Structure 1
Amino acid sequence: MSSSPSAANLLALLRRNAASPAVALRLFLHLSSAASPAPPRSTSFLARLLAAQPAADALLPRLLRHVLSFPDPSPHLLAFLSCSGTLPLCLALPAFRSLRALASDRPPPTPVYNRLILAALRESRLDLVEALYKDLLVAGAEPDVFTRNLLLQALCDAGRMELAQRVFDAMPIRNEFSFGILARGYCRAGRSIDSLKVLDGMPSLNLVVCNTVVAGFCKEGRVEEAEMLVERMRAQGLAPNVVTFNARISALCKAGQVMEAYRIFKDMQEDWQHGLPRPDQVTFDVMLSGFCVAGFIDEARVLVDIMRCGGFLRRVESYNRWLSGLVRNGKVGEAQELLREMAHEGIQPNIYTHNIIVSGLCKEHKAFDVRRVEDFIRSGVMTPDVVTYTSLLHAYCSKGNIAAANRILDEMALKGCAPNSFTYNVLLQSLWRSGRTTEAEQLLERMSEKGYNLDTTSCNIIIDGLCKNSRLDVAMGIVDGMWKEGSAALGRLGNSFLSVVSDSSSSQRCLPDRITYSILISALCKEGRFDEAKKKLLEMIVRDISPDSVIYDTFIHGYCKHGKTSLAIKVLRDMEKKGCNPSTSTYNLLIQGFEKQHKSDEIIKLISEMKEKGISPNVMTYNSLIKSFCERGLVKRAMPLLDEMLQNELVPNITSFGLLIKAFCKITDFPSAQMVFDAALRTCGQKGVLYCLMCTELSTYGRWIEAKNILEIALEMRVSIQSFPYKQIISGLCEIGEVDHAHNILKLLIAKGHMFDPAAFMPVIEALGDRGKKQDVDMLSEKMMQMADRNDGRGTVSGKTTPGSRKHEHDRNGESDWRTLLHRDDSARTILRITKRVQTGWGQRGNVYEHKQQRSDEFYVIENTG
């Protein structure tokens, strides 16, 4: 190496110009050459300096090309790779390949491999991790414990737990990180019970590893195992800390056991004198998210008030959790009010805060108002980013408005906001699922032009679309081809796909994953092709892709759907043998299968088995058992299940009560049905669907007076009557001689402004006519004719009048009963007779319009007086 002054002073010059990396690079290029190469330390310093700059992609390649011109670039390449922990792989890999080519007989040091493997892990290049590890062994370098830990992590991240276990067993030296990586891998794979074996092999328990396993148990619903591990920690002198409790609370919330999580939270608040850790900021945030996700919005409000008083509502992250909860539960207006509170408290919203509001506006009432969303985006309170636009694009796609979604892409380009792969995949999924393959291919070409390569997610979208469009065999062929060709296998769909992927250097790493096989297995099971589905399951295992509970649940659902419950039970047992723990969803699928076969005893056995294994039944589980009992006429056995649900901190829903109401009405035990109905109102609230259900059941069994009472309450509450059997009730009352009650219902319908079927007037008009109440008949006849005219000019929505709508009721639901009457011979004469009365008046005493001026009956006011 030359000892010229320029070379000797180069490092000092670079350090003085560290604030201007581009200037430092020019100095390096000017003062070093093939004749006078720079010292490797200068190369290392400059590489680290450039790697930290946003313009590294442009500057680092120049440095790499320059050092390759040196007579012996190997030490400089090693210096260059010394910062590969911060270099992008697209720059580190060419330097590594050059080094391997120049010094094929001398392997790079193990730390270089470690840095590259770590960079590959950061970019989720799990295939590259294995390739680098194999190259290390071939080159004759010696992997250290850090190298093996990185390989272990890559295998765990890929879900290849059997191979990870073999690597772990073969490690000559292990440290605490080795045990922690494997334990976390088992927990992520839903196999926390296997992580206990990892703990057993540790020289001494580690708090971090134990916390990981505790969280894994809680996530899988294994609360008892989690408690036992906590006791084991205490017995070995390892005191559970707030992280332990936070892990338990978080995992329980994610598993849907929010009340169990809240019990632990309360213990931390109240029993801290007995050695329990006090809740910290994370505890409050996790508990708040748990309440919000579970829909316990009132409990969340109370917790937010406690957080305000205790000083735990001072971070934008905590506000974001509460905002997200309000939006998730349909309270977008309240979320916008919270934004103003944040401003008052001096909490600066971030882009995530505003994106929560945008997402809520897009999903509000399942039919977003685009003007509200776009006004909010353009109001100046936020600078939209790719997430903002993607939320809006997703909303358009969910409504099938592809033209508007494309407009959003164009607007993003104008604003300089580059779409990411997720943005394109959202639009691709919408196009492909709806069968608009030509537009999907055009989008793929657009992605290629923008430099976006197809990834596994893109391929899965296309495979899913093929399955949903009855092209399952084509999809299976593509998956087979992906193992050899990567995304290039999509070329089988046509030249447009081939042009997108043929030049993709990364197509080889676009390999099938667990989701790919889930899509195929689900499609095969739906078609009853179980033998082929089992072959795909075996193929997964051979490829070191561990099946998860979703895949096993798919088999169970398929077998139950085809009445093969015995085979579904075998899948459950096989699932347990493979170390994949069944969930509440797994058992619910089995229970629903037995429910269709009316096997209540089998359902009871499965629920008992769930409880023995620590798997909590949910409302759906109990509803299946209630339905099975009710269908067999064993309603007395079904009734106590409501109390059992409440004892297990489960709130029965409308379906739970509805099943019992129908069952009691079927055996004509109407007092018991009324009792269940009253309990449903207390539990579920004054829901219109409950009133409709009770009214319909009473009408079905001819209990017209009781049905009339329910209908009148519903009318006073101003709920929709579209699904109510009001016409049957009016007709039934007239048949049993209760014409006055039927007449009162008509009055109430009119007074509350409901636009209903004019045919409902007919039974009352005929019954009043038979009684000689000509004046009432006259008024009702006029109302009937006016309502018939209104039905021709207005639509009805949910039983309420909607002025300005030109869509007729019969356009949606076929011809109304009024029009049906017009086509019936036995009714045509009656209608003509009534029409004639309206025109001429009764006994030539004047027409009905004169009578209207003489009467002042408030029930007959046309306008809504309700």
Structure 2
Amino acid sequence: MANGRGCWTVGIGILFQRGHFWKQKVEKQGIDSHEFNYIELQHRMQNYALSSCIGKALETLNFMKNVPGKPTVYDYNALIHCYLKSKDVLLEELVKVYVGMKRFGPLPNALTFNTLFNGMLLFGNLKDALFIAEEMLTSGFVPSFSSLSKLLKKSLESGSLVDSLRVLDFMLEFDYSPTDPTSNLLITRLCKAGMICEAYFVFSVLLSKGYFCGAYGYNPILWALCKANQSYIALTLFCLLKKKGFVHNVCSYTALVYGFSRERLWEEAFCCLKEMEAAGCKPNAITYTTVVKFLCDDGQIEEALGLLDKMQKEGCDPDLVIYNIILRELCHQNRIVEIGELVQVIDQKGFSPNLFTHAALAGGMLKGGRIGIAHKLLVDVFSSGCSVDVAIYNIFFNILCCLNRSKEALFFMRSMMEIGLRPNNVSYNTILNGFCEEHLIDEALELFDRFEWAANGPDLVSFNTILSAACKQGNSSMIRRVLYRMEYEGVKFNIISTTCLIQYFCYSWEDFRVLEAIGIHDLTVIGWKLFLPTEEARSIVSTTYDGQSSTKSWNVVYTG
């Protein structure tokens, strides 16, 4: 911020000199000190401060020393207050004023601290606001609950969790308990940031101080533990809280159901469902959808359909989300009869198919090998003018590439861009792989080199796709081209890249030493078996390879 429209800044040491210095200056200029009316100086000082002229305001304040007993701490407070109301505020200048008051007097009072604190808070300088609060305590004053509560809220809004924890710790020194919304927000933010231990510490400290934390306070911790594959720890906390008299809600139980289902611990997951019902807590659509989703991911479609039936018998109406999940898995398993029946149910329920429905059907059919049906389905979707997104287009690109129509897929990608949808790397890599499968290497290279890629350009999948095609064709110049670009862009090999090169060198009988370029110690058993030409050598690899053998020892195997 500007420094007060050309006003000069006076050094802090000079500004706070004793009054006799200014008295000598006044006498030297031939001005009678009695002419300095205190009220007039007050107004002048405040006007300077309101105009952002902090230097001249301090100079005027020092002229008050010609008046016995002046300036008082209230004059300094008025200066701080007026300066904070000005347009151009430099908070560093206020810190200098505060330091000067501590050093030369008058000592700050409670109003000084509160004015500075509120000013720092107003301008978002949270660290200095906390510093002022700590200084206030050191000077024998106690910050108010409302002040620290505001600081905690501001810290949370700024996303500074470390500062938020410092403020909370400071509040607890005075036995100030944050409000329910604030403490819940802090715990939730900590959990989302992966700071589960810190979140539990906050919860346990508040609990130990007699502060009642409801389910909204600890549910985020249960969810964070379950999402981190620590469902048994979450269950331990759940049982501990239950013994302490806490009444869990549907969200608490659903967290455990989610965690155990995610880890495929089905016995524990269904046990939690039974316990939930026994406790009089009725599972909702989210609870059922959670289990059905993971059952379908695990290929257990019969169990998922059984749970769907139970859900309806319990009076919990399924929504389109759960139908889409089941529909997708039915497509994966080629359950055509059940697919037709479920589509009829969706229609009878009055649900209109959405993006996820189309993606579930088309993606499921594609994965199940029914490419023609998937193609017709999406062609009908495009023809009907339904709203589609990049995910739908990516499935369509995959379908076209499976039908050896990669050029058509590229045409549709350009059309997609014309209507404002931006392709992602999945879009590019799908078509790139299609070109390679059709041996359209020139088109693949043009897409790889010249098209406008999303994010940071081709990724490792893109490089591996081109590298694999080049290796299969034995095109050494293309291989070198890809390797040079990988090195230039800092893209590192993975097992797929390495295996492609090993296959190429096997077919071309290149010298064994070329492996040094791709990191000989990173090869797996499969990689070595692909490279070594004899069954005897491969047998040696299977029985002796430990991942740490030297180049020399492998040369012995190769030449022996």
User: TM-score, normalization: structure 1?
Assistant: 0.39
Equivalenced residue count is 400
CA offset digits 1:348-372 (Å, max 9, x no partner): 5422534443233443426887742
Change (3 A) 1:189 1:375: same
Partner in structure 2 of residue 322 of structure 1: 431
Structure 1 counterpart SS, 2:264: coil
Partner in structure 2 of residue 84 of structure 1: 187
Distance apart, 1:234 and its partner CA: 1.4
Distance 2:381 2:180 in 1: 55
Q: Alignment partner for residue 356 of structure 2, among 238, 243, 253? A: 243
CA offset digits 1:184-204 (Å, max 9, x no partner): 122112112222233332343
8 Å contact from structure 2 (residues 250, 283) kept in 1: yes
Distance 1:118 1:31 in 2: 39
Superposed, 1:363-762 pairs within 5 Å as: 363=468, 364-365=470-471, 371-377=480-486, 384=490, 388-391=491-494, 395=498, 399=502, 430=524
Which amino acid in the other structure matches residue 319 of structure 2? N
Q: Alignment partner for residue 371 of structure 2, among 258, 266, 287? A: 258
Matched, 1:232 2:345: yes
Partner in structure 1 of residue 302 of structure 2: 193
Structure 1 counterpart SS, 2:190: coil
Which amino acid in the other structure matches residue 175 of structure 2? D
Partner in structure 2 of residue 142 of structure 1: 247
Structure 1, unaligned stretches of length 5 or more?
408-426, 436-467, 472-492, 494-810, 813-866
Q: Identity, % of aligned pairs?
A: 17
Structure 2 counterpart SS, 1:315: coil
Distance 1:277 1:283 in 2: 11
Partner in structure 1 of residue 95 of structure 2: none
Change (3 A) 1:237 1:152: same
Q: Alignment partner for residue 283 of structure 2, among 154, 174, 186? A: 174
Distance 2:516 2:168 in 1: 46
Distance 2:338 2:156 in 1: 48
Partner in structure 2 of residue 360 of structure 1: 465
Change (3 A) 1:351 1:190: same
8 Å contact from structure 2 (residues 359, 391) kept in 1: yes
Structure 2 counterpart SS, 1:82: helix
Q: Alignment partner for residue 100 of structure 1, among 173, 190, 204? A: 204
Structure 2, unaligned stretches of length 5 or more?
1-108, 503-511, 530-541, 547-557
8 Å contact from structure 1 (residues 67, 73) kept in 2: yes
Change (3 A) 1:396 1:96: same
Distance 2:444 2:308 in 1: 45
8 Å contact from structure 2 (residues 117, 129) kept in 1: no
Tell me how large the CA RMSD over aligned residues is.
Answer: 4.6
Change (3 A) 1:82 1:205: closer
Distance apart, 1:181 and its partner CA: 1.4
Matched, 1:48 2:156: yes
Change (3 A) 1:397 1:36: farther
8 Å contact from structure 1 (residues 323, 356) kept in 2: no
Q: Alignment partner for residue 142 of structure 2, among 22, 33, 36? A: 36
Which amino acid in the other structure matches residue 341 of structure 2? M
Distance apart, 1:77 and its partner CA: 11
8 Å contact from structure 1 (residues 6, 31) kept in 2: no
Distance apart, 1:27 and its partner CA: 5.1
321-330 vs 256-265, greater mean Cα deviation:
321-330
Distance 1:252 1:361 in 2: 27
Distance 1:352 1:21 in 2: 39
Distance apart, 1:266 and its partner CA: 3.4
39-48 vs 140-149, greater mean Cα deviation:
39-48
Partner in structure 1 of residue 14 of structure 2: none
Distance apart, 1:71 and its partner CA: 4.0
Structure 1 counterpart SS, 2:248: coil
Q: Alignment partner for residue 327 of structure 2, among 195, 214, 217? A: 214
Which amino acid in the other structure matches residue 214 of structure 1? L
Superposed, 1:815-834 pairs within 5 Å as: none
8 Å contact from structure 1 (residues 288, 321) kept in 2: yes
8 Å contact from structure 2 (residues 226, 256) kept in 1: no
Change (3 A) 1:308 1:374: closer
Distance apart, 1:108 and its partner CA: 3.0
Structure 2 counterpart SS, 1:263: helix
Distance 2:493 2:112 in 1: 53
Change (3 A) 1:332 1:359: farther
Partner in structure 1 of residue 261 of structure 2: 156
Which amino acid in the other structure matches residue 260 of structure 1? I
Distance 2:301 2:260 in 1: 17
Partner in structure 1 of residue 446 of structure 2: 337
Distance 1:328 1:14 in 2: 63
Change (3 A) 1:46 1:101: same
CA offset digits 1:100-141 (Å, max 9, x no partner): 256446663211212223333454544443343333323322
Distance 1:145 1:236 in 2: 26
CA offset digits 1:660-687 (Å, max 9, x no partner): xxxxxxxxxxxxxxxxxxxxxxxxxxxx
Q: Alignment partner for residue 300 of structure 1, among 406, 409, 421? A: 406
